């Protein structure tokens, strides 16, 4: 396979990750702007103070704006697994798409092929386990919807990027335990309070049950929460044992 072609288009919007640096998360976005040019301009605008490590155009071109060793400004006010400075610990990739505001549309094959290849390289360079690959809407459900319900998460999961458990047989319609659903959302990583449960459920549905994102805790959503929670446990267990092996190898 040829090496991935990446064009440098430096943004000045970055700072230090902290000491020692830790990179164990990947956050995927859509640009939500009318064109790739407009998005690049904004992500390099010193006044806007926003950026990402990479931008991927609809034709598959990739730009690097910020070095992975630096903290880019893409996550904003956000939270995952109880942690809030997610820019410090993540790589941020912006995928060009007008988004829900300007005409949300499917991500073309050329673009998805680049997304997949770049993500594979990123998770190979850093200890980023599948359960730490998230969408912007997962970490900021009350204000973000990207990359949205058209994004092909199953494709990435087949390459080992992120989680997508196969959907089991539909569960019988019964009493839905909303307390357990809330607990499952938290276990998966969503920072959710009872008041923001609907927003978190919409984010969960965009990601894991994308054919209906209404924030309603129906039996299918409740069953999907169980499947995803189990997959997150498997990913965490795998990550812990991989870290133990790494520690032993370094001794
Ligand atoms: Zn975003």
CA of 176 to the centre of ligand 1 (A): 32
Place of tokens 């997508």: 164
Per the CB < 8 A criterion, the answer to whether 71 and 87 are in contact is: yes
CA of 133 to the centre of ligand 1 (A): 14
| Residue numbers in the chain where pLDDT is lower than 50 | none
Per the CB < 8 A criterion, the answer to whether 53 and 65 are in contact is: yes
Question: Of 48, 122, 124, which is closest to residue 92 (Cα–Cα)?
Answer: 122
Size of the chain, expressed as the number of residues it contains: 251
CA of 86 to the centre of ligand 1 (A): 13
Q: What pLDDT, on a 0 to 100 scale, did the predictor assign at position 175? A: 80
User: Cα–Cα distance between 133 and 113 in angstroms, integer?
Assistant: 17
20: preceding bond cis by omega (within 30 degrees): yes
Tens of pLDDT, residue by residue over 9-55, are 999 999 999 999 999 999 999 999 999 999 999 999 999 999 999 99
CA of 246 to the centre of ligand 1 (A): 32
User: Cα–Cα distance between 73 and 32 in angstroms, integer?
Assistant: 16
- 109 has catalytic annotation: no
Q: What is the four-CA torsion angle of 30, 202, 153, 183, rounded to 10 degrees?
A: 130
Q: What pLDDT, on a 0 to 100 scale, did the predictor assign at position 84? A: 95
234 in helix, strand or coil? Answer: helix
88: preceding bond cis by omega (within 30 degrees): no
CA of 250 to the centre of ligand 1 (A): 37
Per the CB < 8 A criterion, the answer to whether 56 and 62 are in contact is: yes
Q: Which candidate in 94, 121, 149, 226 is catalytic?
A: 94
Per the CB < 8 A criterion, the answer to whether 130 and 162 are in contact is: yes
Place of tokens 């039996």: 219
DSSP one-letter code for 188: H
Q: What pLDDT, on a 0 to 100 scale, did the predictor assign at position 196? A: 87
User: Cα–Cα distance between 54 and 232 in angstroms, integer?
Assistant: 26
């Amino acid at each position: 396979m040829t090496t991935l072609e990446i064009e440098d288009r430096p943004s000045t919007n970055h700072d230090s990750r902290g000491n020692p640096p830790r990179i164990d998360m990947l956050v995927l976005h859509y640009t939500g702007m009318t064109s790739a040019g407009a998005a690049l301009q904004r992500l390099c605008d010193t006044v806007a103070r926003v950026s990402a490590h990479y931008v991927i155009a609809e034709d598959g071109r990739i730009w690097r704006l910020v070095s992975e060793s630096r903290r880019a400004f893409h996550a904003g006010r956000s939270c995952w697994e109880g942690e809030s400075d997610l820019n410090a610990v993540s790589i941020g990739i912006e995928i060009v798409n007008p988004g829900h505001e300007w005409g949300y549309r499917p991500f073309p094959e050329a673009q998805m092929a680049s997304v997949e290849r770049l993500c594979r390289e990123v998770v190979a360079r850093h200890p980023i386990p599948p359960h730490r690959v998230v969408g912007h809407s997962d970490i900021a459900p009350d204000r973000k919807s990207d990359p949205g319900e058209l994004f092909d998460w199953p494709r990435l999961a087949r390459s080992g990027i992120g989680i997508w458990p196969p959907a089991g047989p539909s569960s019988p319609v019964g009493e839905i335990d909303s307390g357990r659903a809330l607990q499952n959302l938290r276990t998966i990583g969503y920072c959710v309070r009872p008041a923001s449960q609907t927003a978190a459920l919409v984010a969960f549905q965009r990601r894991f049950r994308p054919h209906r994102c209404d924030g309603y805790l129906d039996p299918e959503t409740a069953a999907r929460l169980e499947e995803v929670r189990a997959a997150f446990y498997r990913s965490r267990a795998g990550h812990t044992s991989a870290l133990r092996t790494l520690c032993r190898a370094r001794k």
